[in-house]
Amino acid sequence: MSQASGHRHIIEWRKANAVNIANAKTVLMFREVGRHINTALLGNKRAGYGKQIVATLSSQLVEKYGATFNLSRLKRMRKFAEIVDDNEISATPWH
């Protein structure tokens, strides 16, 4: 293996590793956002008023952070937080 190909291998491996870590952290963030909405904002209830709370939150988050936090995505984050437990989400991205 030439020196150049060895350097390329290191660079490509590190770049791929950085992407994997960023993706894992993003998944954790989505679950935490969903869990926060479910517990802190809605008190684990599905009352009708919750729809307006989530819609308002979505508008605020979209304005500050972009379309990643639109209403349909927040709904998916909430559902994700309901169905995936802490052990599953923390173990999977790192192994």
Kindly state the tokens that stand for 14. 């590190």
Give the model confidence (pLDDT) of 7-61 as tens digits: 899 999 999 999 999 999 999 999 999 999 999 998 877 667 788 999 999 999 9
For 70, phi then psi, to 5°, come to -70, 170
For residue 93, pLDDT over 70 is answered with: no
Instruction: Give the pLDDT confidence score for residue 87 in this predicted structure.
Output: 65
Instruction: Give the pLDDT confidence score for residue 47 in this predicted structure.
Output: 64
Residues 80 and 91: their CA atoms lie apart, in Å, by 16
| pTM of the shown model | 0.78
